[in-house]
């Protein structure tokens, strides 16, 4: 898994080196793939999963997986160390950024335990604010860079550190994310097989 993540964090060519990768390409072309391993912008554009959003490179961040990693779906989750709250574990710093950008829609820390508010801020941060920062600093907008910024902070994206140089928590986060994406794909393939699609 670590080797796969290292390869995903570097620019990829159009050709694949193994049968496994060829199968991913075939799944992407059929519209089955919904994760960071898909490389076909057409497959992404045809995806029916509304909880996944494109980034500029055509890859997607699955916010359901992020929510599962962050809080196991618990809207009342609280991290004493970071003071992160709610479904997507929004920190006080992210809330402050939200409030700075949304003067007509400001929230307080306790509002982060409201699932709808927490989700709104998380999606804004993942889909708007992080890409703004990545673009501003001239870095590549990838699922991995977004997740690194979301979990460890934009500084790790700016320094272009290797996988091993990331905090252990972020390494595990990336591994969990990609494992769950693979599990989601496997589940969809099983369903498609049962349905004869």
pLDDT band of 184, cuts 50, 70, 90: confident
Give me the pLDDT at residue 119, please.
Answer: 98
Confidence of residue 102 (pLDDT cuts 50, 70, 90): very high
Cα–Cα distances in angstroms (integers) from residue 60 to residues 16, 143, 159, 193, in the given order? 20, 6, 23, 24
DSSP 79: -
What confidence tens digit (pLDDT) does each residue in 31-67 have? 333 333 333 232 333 333 333 344 444 458 999 999 9
Close Cβ partners of 193 (under 8 Å, ≥ 6 residues apart): none
37: tokens are 């391993």
- What proportion of the chain, given as a percentage, has pLDDT over 90? 59
Reported as a single tens digit per residue, the pLDDT across 127-136 is 999 999 999 9
Reported residue count of the chain is 197
Rounded (10°) CA dihedral 31, 34, 37, 42: 40
Report residue 52: phi and psi, to 5°: -120, 135
Confidence of residue 89 (pLDDT cuts 50, 70, 90): very high
Give the mean pLDDT of 89-113: 97
User: Could you tell me the pTM of the whole model?
Assistant: 0.68
Positions of E strands within the chain: 52-54, 60-62
How far apart (Å, rounded) are the C-alpha atoms in residues 33 and 36? 9
Cα–Cα distance between 197 and 195 in angstroms, integer? 6
Tokens 């391993």: give the residue.
37
Output 142 or 189, whichever has higher pLDDT. Answer: 142
How far is 95 from 98, CA to CA, in rounded Å?
A: 5
Query: Predicted confidence band at 195 (pLDDT cuts at 50, 70, 90)?
Result: low
- Class at the top of the CATH hierarchy for domain 2-6+21-195: mainly alpha
- Residue 136: how many CA atoms within 13 Å on its side-chain side? 8
167 vs 191: CA distance, rounded Å = 36
Contact call for residues 24 and 37 (beta carbons, < 8 A):
yes
DSSP 10: S
pLDDT of residue 3: 54
What pLDDT sits at residue 59?
A: 58
More confidently predicted of 161 and 82: 82
């Amino acid at each position: 898994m670590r080797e796969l993540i290292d390869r995903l964090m570097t620019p990829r060519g159009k050709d694949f080196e193994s049968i496994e990768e060829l199968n991913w390409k075939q799944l992407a072309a059929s519209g089955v793939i919904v994760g960071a391993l898909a490389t076909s912008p057409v497959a992404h554009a045809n995806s029916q999963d509304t909880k996944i959003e494109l980034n500029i490179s055509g890859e997607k961040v699955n916010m359901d997986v992020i929510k599962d990693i962050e809080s196991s779906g618990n809207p009342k989750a609280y991290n004493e160390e970071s003071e992160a709250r709610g479904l997507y574990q929004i920190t006080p710093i992210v809330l402050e950024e939200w409030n700075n950008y949304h003067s007509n829609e400001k929230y307080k820390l306790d509002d982060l335990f409201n699932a709808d508010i927490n989700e709104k801020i998380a999606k804004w941060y993942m889909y708007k604010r992080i890409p703004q920062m990545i673009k501003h600093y001239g870095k590549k907008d990838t699922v991995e860079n977004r997740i690194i910024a979301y979990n460890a902070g934009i500084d790790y994206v700016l320094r272009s550190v290797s996988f091993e140089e990331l905090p252990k928590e972020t390494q595990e986060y990336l591994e969990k994310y990609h494992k769950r994406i693979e599990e989601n794909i496997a589940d969809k393939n099983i369903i498609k097989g049962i349905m004869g699609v």
